[in-house]
Chain A
Amino acid sequence: MRSMKKLMLAGLAATMLSSSAFAEGLSGELRVFSDMSNPAPRAVMEGMVERFGAMHPDLDIELTVIDREAYKTQIRNFLTADAPDVANWYAANRMGPYVNAGLFEDISDLWAEPEFAALASTKGAMTIDDKQWGVPYTYYQWGVYYRQDIFEELGLTAPATFEEELANCEKIVASGRACYTIGSKFLWTAGGWFDYLNMRTNGYDFHMQLARGEIEWTDDRVRETFANWRKLIDMGGFIEDHQTYSWQEALPFMINGDATAYLMGNFAVPHFRDGGLTDDQLGFYQFPVINPDVAMAEDAPTDTFHIPANAQNKEAAREFLRFIVSADNQTMINAGDALGQLPVNAGSSVDDDKFLKAGFSMLSNDAPGGVAQFFDRDFSAEMAKAGMEGLQEFMVYPDNLDDILERLEFVRQDTAE
């Protein structure tokens, strides 16, 4: 009898021990699916898992890295069939289909925690129906990368207004160069141009209303955006035959000096450097003001982590998201030798890199209008596809504008149903 009691006590103690261990450290299995398949991002992802694993030795973390492009279609299958506990995706409208289908976990509770106040800049992009559905880990600025040395040679300075921009471009064209290189074969580069021209002409709010399908494509304000674009096209501002090139194939024009600038995301910088441009030759400026009455807004595509609604270990997943957004981790993963992008956490520090610093200060100080994600992430998938095709056509045949806008309006009405 006595020994029996002892045994029960021992058993009780054991269960209490284990439950207290559970409250302290996480246990079980944490499955992470990631699309960070390029060498540098992959190393970052593996590093994060390693460090998180060291903090929680009882947790068994299983990381699956999937090719970035293949991931875009596979996510549909694994979210429904075999959901991991944490998965990569993108912000804004891009997560809409999964949120609406109930496949992402509502993590508003995490965002209510005080530490998440430091992520305020992207809260809007993570919000659908007043709830938050994921956390950001990195973003990067868009802007105009230009050949400082050629600008100096021609006696030009980086333009602050569209008039200066056009005046600059006239001189550049007269010198036998194109103002901008662009490769629109895969369409999205033209989306960047439209984003900026429309946000500068009509403002962030208008742009977002258009993205949500609340404004007609045939609206006069949209036409005004295209009219501004046309000024650059008609003066020969863009390289010829851009519809045949990918964005990488358009890089040599800038590196060889046949074109003087490139409206691009910061991910192009390593390519410029590999092509032999030094930081003295390569400069960066914010897309110039067109309409002084609208606040400056920027494109800064944000990459994110989410918890699938069908995840098994949501407690560990939430802890992993807290770890990802922490200031120290974001500083580390966005450093120049890692992702080479911008941390979202306001408490993080930016690496000592000319373009990262320029981007960080631009997004924190000079983008009062708001931060957009990008044409193909803000617009619904079908509108984005038809839209970018129309933008590419406009850049080659600007006279087709009426026809293009009517077609886009048809798609808008069709997708609104």
Chain B
Amino acid sequence: MTDTTAAAPHHSWFHRNRQTITPWLFLLPGILFFTLYVVYPIIQSISLSFYKWDGLGEATYVGTANYERLASDRAFTVSLFNNMKWLLLYLLAIPAGLFIALFLNQTVRGIRIYKSLFFFPFVISQVVVGLVFTWFYDPNFGLLNGILGAVGLGPINVLGDPALATYGIIAAGLWPQTAYCMILYLTGLNAVDPEQIEAARLDGAKGWRMLWHIIVPQLKPATFIAFVVTIIGALRSFDLISIMTNGGPFGSTRVLSFYMFEKALSEYGFRMGYGAAIAVVLFFIMLFFIAYFLWSMYQDEKGR
């Protein structure tokens, strides 16, 4: 008798609290690695941006000197401005992807082949996309000047003209990005409720009204993902720039990530503090978008 009553308070602390502890235990490995490989480097980069360091000798504290220099650095302004161009123009991939998806969302013979062909640019490497477009734009033998010549327009050197080069690279980047958005919308279209379309049709909606009021609202989850991946894609436009112009002509196509790489890690770089300052600016731009995404996801979850 006494044995059984005494047993109850003997339950261990772990036993009593396992409801609260278990989720933390499951999260622990993730939190640990996230802290070590994401949070810690962010803090390290931010602190490094207040130092002058060549990666070899001693780092000296310089306060906000790196940021002050950024303000008067024209190459930085150009890079920042190019980032804005990328962010804005890259969003064109979303409507373009939507229209291709609508076009391909039909059942005809061999539609799978057409879908695959449209999806192809996303499968091949960005480096290949960059090379293909470099040849396309080539002032000597490029297809573009052949076409322009056929309609009587003068030859242009897209990648050699500082006013055009960035747009030329963005156009190259839009090719695979549109394909990506297309595939997102194609899967989204599968989930569109046919009864709602039927009901709308009975109410006399068609064409643009049908698209805008019935289809697009139902595609909201796909649009959200397409927006997220496009923004992220625009901010990591590094490889195309590196392949197509290497930041040139005279630094006119650099974006922040490329400029940071040049300053901190390239052959002529190794100004770690200055590179870190550029990275911090880029981080805050990204943080702005990430915060927005997290906030809107949170709102969605709450709504359910």
User: What is A's interface to B at a CB cutoff of 8 Å?
Assistant: 69, 72-73, 76, 80, 97-98, 100-101, 103, 185-187, 240-241, 243-244, 376, 381-382, 384-385, 389-390, 392-393, 396, 407, 414
Contact = CB atoms under 8 A, between A and B. Distances in A.
Contacts of A243: 160, 248-250
A89 B267 CA distance: 13
Contact of A76 (B56, B69, B249): B56
Interface of B: 54-57, 69, 74, 138-140, 157, 159-160, 245-246, 248-251, 262, 265, 267-271
B140 A381 contact: no
Given A390-B250, A393-B249, 19 more contacts: A72-B267, A73-B267, A76-B56, A76-B270, A80-B56, A97-B54, A101-B56, A187-B248, A240-B157, A241-B139, A241-B140, A241-B160, A243-B248, A244-B138, A381-B269, A382-B268, A385-B262, A389-B250, A392-B248
Contacts of B248: 185, 187, 243, 389, 392
Contacts of A76: 55-56, 270
A385 to B, nearest CB: 4
8 contacts: A76-B55, A382-B268, A382-B271, A384-B268, A393-B249, A396-B250, A407-B74, A414-B69
A382 B250 CA distance: 14
Contacts of A186: 246
Contact of B56 (A97, A240, A392, A414): A97
Given A244-B157, A392-B248, A392-B249, A101 B268 contact: no
Nearest to A98: B56
Contacts of A240: 139, 157
Interface of B is mostly: loop
Contacts of A241: 139-140, 157, 160
Given A97-B56, A100-B57, A241-B139, A396 B268 contact: no
A243 B74 CA distance: 20
A381 B267 contact: yes
A407 B78 CA distance: 14
Contacts of A103: 56
A73 B157 contact: no
Nearest to A239: B140
Contacts of B265: 73
A14 B94 CA distance: 81
Contacts of A392: 248-250
A65 B56 CA distance: 23
Contacts, number: 64
A101 B270 CA distance: 13
Nearest to B158: A244
Contacts of B271: 382
Nearest to A384: B268
A244 B249 CA distance: 8
A97 B270 contact: yes
A381 B269 CA distance: 7
A244 B159 contact: yes
Contacts of A97: 54, 56, 270
B159 A389 contact: no
Contacts of B251: 389
Contacts of A73: 265, 267
A180 B54 CA distance: 38
Contacts of B160: 241, 243-244, 396
B32 to A, nearest CB: 25
Contacts of B270: 76, 97, 381
B246 A376 contact: no
B224 to A, nearest CB: 39
A414 B72 CA distance: 12
Contacts of A376: 268
Contacts of A414: 69
A182 to B, nearest CB: 13
Given A244-B160, A392-B248, A381 B138 contact: no
Contacts of B159: 244
A127 to B, nearest CB: 20
A396 B249 contact: yes
B285 to A, nearest CB: 24
A194 B282 CA distance: 35
B143 to A, nearest CB: 15
A401 B109 CA distance: 62
A385 B251 CA distance: 10
A305 B112 CA distance: 59
A80 B271 CA distance: 18
Q: Which 6 pairs, one residue from A and one from B, show the smallest C-beta to C-beta distance? A: A385-B268, A393-B250, A101-B56, A244-B160, A243-B249, A241-B139
Contacts of A101: 54, 56-57
B56 A381 contact: no
A142 B248 CA distance: 25
Q: Which of A100, A101, A243 has the most CB of B within 10 A?
A: A243
Nearest to B269: A381
A241 B134 CA distance: 13
Contacts of B267: 69, 72-73, 381
A37 B138 CA distance: 30
A100 B270 CA distance: 14
Contacts of A72: 267
A97 B138 CA distance: 39
A243 B161 CA distance: 9
A360 B228 CA distance: 61
Contacts of A98: 56
B260 to A, nearest CB: 14
A407 B56 CA distance: 27
